[in-house]
Amino acid sequence: MRCMRINLSEFSCESLCRSRAYASRLGPWMLRCALILLALSPSQILAQRASDRVSVPSHPIGAPSAVTVLDTVRLAAAYLEKGCESSGQFAYLVDTESGEILPSYNVVRHAGAIYALAMLNRIHPDSNTANTMVRAANFLRANYLAHDTRSGALAVWSRPPPANRKAELGAAGLGLVALSGVEQVRPNAIPLAELQAMARFILFLQRPDGSFYSRYFADSGLDRNWQSLYYPGEAVLGLVSLYEIDHSKKWLVAAGKGLAYLAQSREGTQEVPPDHWALIATAKFLPYYAQSECPVSRAELVRHAARICERFLREQVASASDARLNGGFDPGGRTTPSAIRLEGLLAALEFLPRTNVELRARVETAVQRGIVFLLNAQITSGPYAGGMPGAVLATGSARNVRSASEIRIDYVQHAMSAWLRYEERVSEGATVK
């Protein structure tokens, strides 16, 4: 891993044209961004960093159009594509104050970025997006994917060899989602046997009751104590993604058991956890419910999802003293808690019963307000155009102050995924109040 300072003096017409990410994003919105970069000297760009982070467009209250959101998506996609090196590694965490790419890396979030790009390419096919996906997928496969002796399967390890001693369920789940997405875009780019070996590792981590172990160590085996909230939903999403490729029922059966456990274990609890991945996985799974042998009814899965939606609706900021916070889902103005809730709510709108008019109406209203919050948070000019800061305000907790000057790939990925779900919904003529 590396820690490097971005050399702003290298920005030029020639280097800009060489960048496939820039060259591929045609249209006036990209031309404006290019002119901004070329018109400013490096010292002017450096001086603008702080203002770039907070000087965002003021999108009015009201349902954003598909065109408005598409422009925003394209800017975010250009950021991810530009930040994906020839090796396939992303600029994972950028400090906009110093211009440094910080040395930490997270393979789960790397896989999440591929997932978002696959969603983009499904809706708006583009060869350069597909090329970025393949490049990033090959980086994951070369550096993090390796055989595990105990399970006899392929694990996505948290660190490259020789430090690959820990493997997490979320990396296996989202890794399978990401590589399945690449295989659907570029057939035969990922060997089917490889995808199936990854899925077998997920099944190795699944208990008979449908729950999952979240972490595994090569030297000591399954971690029976630590649990992740999000990993089971990511694992289910990965299994269904592979089912769509090879149509092997065992993946679907395991996915159904996983979702059933979440629904049953949370039934009767006072509050459900904020599990947006469960909503996304449920939306992916339900079209295949009849073939799944799921141990709970469809109605139980939908009821579990509706309770998560109700929790999210209660969390949305409505009348903050600073208007920039309104529509978000975090009182401190963090962007990713808002983006993931919007992803979940939009996924839920795919299957919440039409007869539940009141809940659907409240979800649609919350989605519209949340999308506006994210639109206003995106950086739209300067060297970090398309990036999403971790927070909209550099005030409050030390975490918020730090996050407001940082862009991480998952901040961008989750926002882009939410925008894409919204754009697709609006484009299909769905009513968003």
Contact criterion met (CB below 8 Å) for 356 and 45 = no
pLDDT score of 397: 77
Nearest to 417 by CA among 277, 235, 267: 277
Angle at 164 between CA 160 and CA 170, to 5 degrees: 90
pLDDT score of 54: 41
pLDDT score of 53: 42
Instruction: Compute the distance between CA of residue 59 and CA of residue 311 in angstroms, rounded to an integer.
Output: 26
Is the per-residue pLDDT at 415 higher than 60?
Answer: yes
Residue 228: CB atoms within 10 Å: 18
Is the per-residue pLDDT at 34 higher than 50?
Answer: no
Is the per-residue pLDDT at 284 higher than 80?
Answer: yes
Is the per-residue pLDDT at 33 higher than 70?
Answer: no
Least confident of 51-65, 231-245, 271-285, 307-321: 51-65
pLDDT score of 59: 65
pLDDT score of 430: 55
Instruction: Compute the distance between CA of residue 119 and CA of residue 110 in angstroms, rounded to an integer.
Output: 15
Q: If you average pLDDT over residues 62-87, what whole number do you get?
A: 93
Q: Across the chain, what does the average pLDDT equal?
A: 87
Instruction: Compute the distance between CA of residue 371 and CA of residue 118 in angstroms, rounded to an integer.
Output: 21
Is the per-residue pLDDT at 46 higher than 90?
Answer: no
Is the per-residue pLDDT at 103 higher than 50?
Answer: yes
387-404 pLDDT, tens digit per residue, is 999 999 887 777 778 889
Q: If you average pLDDT over residues 56-69, what whole number do you get?
A: 72
Question: Measured between alpha carbons, how far apart are the two ends of the chain, in Å?
Answer: 46
Query: 281 or 5, which is more confident?
Result: 281
Q: If you average pLDDT over residues 214-242, what whole number do you get?
A: 97
Is the per-residue pLDDT at 432 higher than 50?
Answer: no
176-200 pLDDT, tens digit per residue, is 999 999 999 999 999 999 999 999 9
290-305 pLDDT, tens digit per residue, is 999 999 999 999 999 9
pLDDT score of 45: 31
Is the per-residue pLDDT at 233 higher than 90?
Answer: yes
- The DSSP line for 30-51 is HHHHHHHHHHS-HHHHHHHHHH
309-345 pLDDT, tens digit per residue, is 999 999 999 988 899 999 999 999 999 999 999 999 9
Q: If you average pLDDT over residues 221-237, what whole number do you get?
A: 97
Instruction: Compute the distance between CA of residue 421 and CA of residue 237 in angstroms, rounded to an integer.
Output: 16
Instruction: Compute the distance between CA of residue 116 and CA of residue 412 in angstroms, rounded to an integer.
Output: 9
- Helix (H, G, I), strand (E, B), or coil: what is residue 126? coil
Enclosing H/E stretch for 216: strand 215-217
What crossing angle do the helices spanning 276-285 and 298-315 adopt, rounded to 10°? 150
Is the per-residue pLDDT at 20 higher than 80?
Answer: no
Q: If you average pLDDT over residues 246-270, what whole number do you get?
A: 97
145-181 pLDDT, tens digit per residue, is 999 999 999 999 999 988 989 999 999 999 999 999 9
Tokens of 268: 């009767």
Is the per-residue pLDDT at 48 higher than 70?
Answer: no
Least confident of 113-117, 144-148, 377-381, 424-428: 424-428
